[in-house]
């Protein structure tokens, strides 16, 4: 019983919605079971039929690519949907809690707040690693879920494998390792450890390295029994036909991925080596992702505003815990990176008084 006490009782009790496409799989010459429009669609493309609620074709291809079984895969409308479903699967509103390790991705807390679930904070160290007592603290916690984002957003670093492993062995709740940026990191994915850890969930996404943020497709990998629970509570048709078609086309083109990854990593290295030469840059944090967290020795919000005035939008992270003075810069094309570096150089040389000194 690896999930004893971890699944919300109301979820255990509830009946799954049985969709028309669950009760009849595939196509027959006459399909009059789902109140679709048999005449076709308004608009140029035919989307008149409901999509496969189990996304079998994608899971088959993704399983091959990732070296897991189709039964280890849940697909969400972005990983944000998987995050929300994981909170709702395990936490009873007004009663249960999750653990996050700030500074980190904001959607964990949003999902908890939306579901009236308490958030416990286990802050990262000043250099953004899991604290030495993280496993011990979590072992004593009754939280249902901990979110470990590795490589972490907005800091860019991977968490130590030994610490994550100790947490997986000692925390009684579900350990969600969010690998949205794993495609930019040399570390092996935690999906390789799924057979050892029934309470491990690994999140990945098509939004970053795959360049398909507009499609909304995220993936949760876990033991089949846990995947079964996510399937039980998901909206039946959560992945549209258009998304499924595009995702299959992308998976067929997977051999193109390494070239794009290499180009983005090269861009990251250019930025990582050039940014520290700028007088206004205090520190560039090491990154295993497609962005860099940069600490400025001047008012970072003023730098943000000046970049914005030059048509360059970056992410202002100055109000995040431990991120005072920091902006998060996404790696762009070679040309965009050059424009960014030139703009920052100009901010240094042309407006020495426009950015006031930070304390
Ligand atoms: C971008 C990002 C995601 C991706 O979310 P999608 O809903 O799949 O687009 C998930 N987690 C983290 C940490 C991210 O930065």
Q: Whose Cα sits closest to atom 1 in ligand 1?
A: 180
Residue 19: per-residue pLDDT: 87
Over the range 176-186, which residues count as b (16 or more CB within 10 Å of their CB) and which as e?
bbbbbbbbbbe
Q: Tell me the mean pLDDT in the region 339-348.
A: 94
- Contact (Cβ atoms closer than 8 angstroms) between residue 168 and residue 145: no
How many angstroms separate the Cα of 272 from the Cα of each of 70, 215, 286, 314? Answer: 38, 30, 8, 16
Q: Is 79 in the pocket of ligand 1 (CB under 6 A)?
A: yes
Confidence of residue 353 (pLDDT cuts 50, 70, 90): low
Please give the Cα distance from 325 to 156 (Å, whole number): 16
User: Is residue 343 scored above 80 in pLDDT?
Assistant: yes
Measure the CA angle with vertex 155, ends 149 and 159; round to 5°. Answer: 45
Residues whose CB is less than 8 angstroms from the CB of residue 109 and which lie 6 or more positions away in sequence, other chains included: 100, 119
What are the two backbone dihedrals, phi and then psi, of residue 51, each rounded to the nearest 5 degrees? -75, 165
- Give the side-chain half-sphere CA count within 13 A for 18: 6
Confidence of residue 21 (pLDDT cuts 50, 70, 90): confident
CA-wise closest residue to 3 among 173, 149, 133, 139: 173
- Ligand 1 pocket: which of 86, 100, 107, 315 to mutate (most atoms <8 Å of CB)? 107
Strand partners, 292: 329
Q: Is 154 in the pocket of ligand 1 (CB under 6 A)?
A: no
Confidence of residue 348 (pLDDT cuts 50, 70, 90): confident
Q: Is 204 in the pocket of ligand 1 (CB under 6 A)?
A: no
The rounded Å distance from CA 280 to ligand 1 centre is 30
The domain at 257-349 falls in which architecture?
Answer: Alpha-Beta Complex (3.90)
Q: Tell me the mean pLDDT in the region 305-325.
A: 97
- On the 0-12 / 13-18 / 19+ scale of CB atoms within 10 A, 156 is buried
Give the CA dihedral 242, 248, 252, 256, nearest 10 degrees. Answer: 60
The domain at 9-252 falls in which architecture?
Answer: 3-Layer(aba) Sandwich (3.40)
Domain ranges of the chain: 9-252, 257-349
Give the whole-number percent of the chain exceeding pLDDT 70.
97
Strand partners, 291: 330
Tokens of 143: 């939280």
How many angstroms separate the Cα of 306 from the Cα of each of 281, 296, 298? Answer: 15, 13, 12
Over the range 255-284, which residues count as b (16 or more CB within 10 Å of their CB) and which as e?
eebeeeeeebbebbeebbebbeebebbbeb
Confidence of residue 23 (pLDDT cuts 50, 70, 90): confident
Please give the Cα distance from 74 to 218 (Å, whole number): 8
Q: What is the pLDDT of residues 24-45, one digit of tens each?
A: 888 889 999 999 999 999 999 9
Q: Whose Cα sits closest to atom 6 in ligand 1?
A: 78
Q: Whose Cα sits closest to atom 11 in ligand 1?
A: 180
């Amino acid at each position: 019983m690896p999930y004893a006490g971890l699944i919300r009782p109301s979820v255990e009790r509830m009946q799954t919605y049985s969709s028309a496409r669950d009760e009849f799989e595939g196509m027959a010459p006459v399909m009059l079971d789902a109140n679709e429009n048999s005449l076709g669609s308004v608009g140029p493309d035919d989307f008149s039929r409901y999509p496969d609620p189990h996304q079998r074709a994608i899971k088959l291809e993704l399983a091959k690519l990732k070296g897991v079984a189709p039964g280890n895969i849940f697909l969400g409308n972005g990983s944000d949907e998987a995050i929300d479903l994981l909170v709702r699967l395990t936490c009873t509103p007004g009663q249960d809690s999750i653990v996050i390790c700030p500074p980190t991705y904001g959607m964990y807390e949003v999902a908890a707040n939306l579901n009236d679930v308490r958030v416990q904070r286990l802050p990262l160290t000043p250099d953004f690693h899991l604290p030495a007592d993280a496993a011990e603290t979590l072992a004593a916690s009754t939280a249902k879920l901990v979110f470990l984002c590795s490589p972490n957003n907005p800091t860019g670093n991977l968490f130590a494998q030994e610490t994550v492993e100790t947490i997986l062995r000692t925390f009684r709740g579900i350990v969600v390792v969010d690998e949205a940026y794993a495609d930019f990191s040399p570390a092996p994915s935690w999906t390789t450890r799924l057979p050892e850890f029934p309470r491990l969930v690994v999140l990945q996404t098509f939004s970053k390295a795959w360049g398909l943020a507009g499609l909304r497709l995220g993936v949760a990998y876990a033991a089949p029994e846990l995947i079964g629970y996510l399937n039980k509570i998901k909206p039946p048709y959560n992945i549209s036909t258009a998304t499924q078609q595009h995702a299959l086309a992308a998976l067929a083109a997977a051999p193109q991925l390494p070239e794009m990854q290499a180009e983005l990593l090269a861009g990251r290295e250019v930025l990582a080596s050039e940014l520290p030469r700028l007088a206004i840059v205090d520190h560039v944090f090491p990154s295993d992702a497609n962005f860099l967290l940069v600490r400025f020795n001047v008012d970072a919000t003023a730098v943000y505003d000046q970049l914005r005035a030059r048509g360059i939008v970056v992410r202002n992270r100055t109000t995040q815990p431990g991120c005072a003075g920091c902006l998060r810069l996404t790696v762009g094309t070679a040309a965009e990176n050059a424009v960014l570096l030139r703009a920052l150089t100009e901010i240094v040389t042309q407006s020495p008084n426009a950015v006031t000194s930070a304390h």
